[in-house]
Amino acid sequence: MVKNVLSILDLTKEEFDEVISLAAELKRKRAAGVLEDILPKKTLGMIFEKSSTRTRISFDVGMYELGGHAIFLNPNEMQLGRGEEIRDTARVLSRYLSAIMIRSYLHSTIEEIAKYASIPVINGLSDKEHPCQILADVLAMKERFGDDLSKLRVAWVGDGNNVCNSLILAGAHTGFEITVSTPKGYEPDEEVLKTAAKHGIRVKYFENPIDAVKGADVIYTDTWISMGEEDEKEERLKAFKGFCVDDGLIAHANKDVVVMHCLPAHRGEEISDAVMEGEHSIIWDQAENRLHAQKALLVKLLK
């Protein structure tokens, strides 16, 4: 298998499908009380520049349940925080660990670690992509709609951020159609859209979120104010007015539409409390599936 997973496209379609299938199997076994030491004595180093709930806990628990061990690494408590070069840290960690997972502000930081590391590097989140989240999301979609997702219409409403970028690129492996609606100036990454076009991924853009969700099987949203953007809060709240996923918006989608959010959510901003708690929400399935999808990815990389 590939050494690094910095982008969802670092997985081939075959590898992507294998990870999702294994994640479903590991989920079934865990529900039956069956946990196997598949990765005994393997150690995952977890570097967190950004705070985390789901990423940290799911990777930590995942390694434990696989028979391995995870180490939390705060850059401020490492020599990285005192100016040690990333390439030096990457080389040293490669001598100690089995793999590195990093949650970083800049995608370039993860790319530099991967360049100098001699062990697998996993993107736990960057400003460009969030591949681990999309693995969990696709598992949730398959649980609801079956293995063939090619006929699905997935609508993204809100900020064209890292999760949106990875969702678009996942179209290369799933075949689903993606519609995107964002305020002007908050569109998905241009490089991602060019890559999507090269892979024949079906992406349509709409200025009006109502148009984007018409005929949608899935509506996906995320926070309008990501970590590091807090000083833009007032500007963003004004720009995103009308983009809240509420009952009024989902009424324009298919009647069996599911609503997704990668969390954390700001209820009353990008999504209403009623929708989060309502019958269309599969948000908690997504959150749980982070554990299973990441366990499967670790097995494929380290076994």
pLDDT on residue 227: 75
Helix %, strand %, coil % of the chain (to 5)? 45, 15, 40
Alpha carbon distance 141, 285 (integer Å): 10
* Share of residues in the chain with pLDDT > 70 (%): 100
Residue of 132, 164, 244, 262 marked catalytic: 262
Residue of 103, 107, 153, 261 marked catalytic: 103
Alpha carbon distance 299, 135 (integer Å): 14
For residue 222, indicate whether it is catalytic: yes
How many other CB atoms are there within 10 angstroms of residue 139's CB atom? 24
183 preceded by a cis bond (ω within 30 of 0): no
How many other CB atoms are there within 10 angstroms of residue 279's CB atom? 8
For residue 87, indicate whether it is catalytic: no
Collect the ranges in the chain with pLDDT lower than 70: 1
pLDDT on residue 1: 62
pLDDT on residue 81: 83
Helix axes 162-174, 190-198, angle to 10 degrees: 0
pLDDT on residue 229: 81
What's the whole-model pTM score?
0.96
- Structural contact between residues 265 and 287, judged by C-beta atoms closer than 8 angstroms: no
| List of domains in the chain | 8-130+287-302 (3.40.50.1370), 134-283 (3.40.50.1370)
How many alpha carbons fall within 13 Å on the CB side of residue 221?
31
How many other CB atoms are there within 10 angstroms of residue 13's CB atom? 12
Residue of 54, 107, 130, 173 marked catalytic: 130
pLDDT on residue 2: 72
